[in-house]
Amino acid sequence: MNRDQIIETTKRFLSEEFEVSTDVIIPENNLQQTLDLDSLDYVDLVVVIEENFGFKPTADDFKTVATFEDFYQLVEQKLAELA
């Protein structure tokens, strides 16, 4: 899965799960603020990430994620580890 595919996949499942417009899912935006995530929402985020990308992120993984760009980098890294 290349970067464009990761971005398109992410936009699709995050907009569906968290009911936000795909227009706000842009690399420089803050993921937590854009999706309005509280602590309980992270378990939902883990579920959709696992369903769509095949890996289960940990709490430590999320410490490195502030923006959507950070998230895309995390996905690329995890998918490379799985390959």
Partner 1 sequence: MKIEKANIKKYIPQREPFIMIDSLKDASDEGFASEFEIVETNCLLINNVLSESALVENIAQTCAAGFGYLNSLLEDAEPRLGFIGAVTKLSNFQSAHVNQKINTTVSILNTFENIHLIQGTCFADEVKLLECQMKIVLA
Q: Which residues bind partner 1 (CB under 8 A)?
A: 39-40, 42-44, 46-47, 50, 56, 59
Q: Which is nearer to partner 1, 7 or 49 (CB)?
A: 49
From CA 81, how far away is CA 83, in angstroms rounded? 6
Q: Which is nearer to partner 1, 28 or 38 (CB)?
A: 38
Q: Which is nearer to partner 1, 3 or 56 (CB)?
A: 56
Report the nearest approach of partner 1 to the CB of residue 55 (Å). Answer: 13
Report the nearest approach of partner 1 to the CB of residue 83 (Å). Answer: 24
Q: Which residues of 24-48 are buried (b: 16+ CB within 10 A; e: fewer)?
A: ebeeeeebeebbeeeeeeeeebbeb
**C-alpha angle with apex 61: 38 to 33, nearest 5 degrees?**
30
**Pair of tokens at residue 74:** 């995390």
Report the nearest approach of partner 1 to the CB of residue 3 (Å). Answer: 26
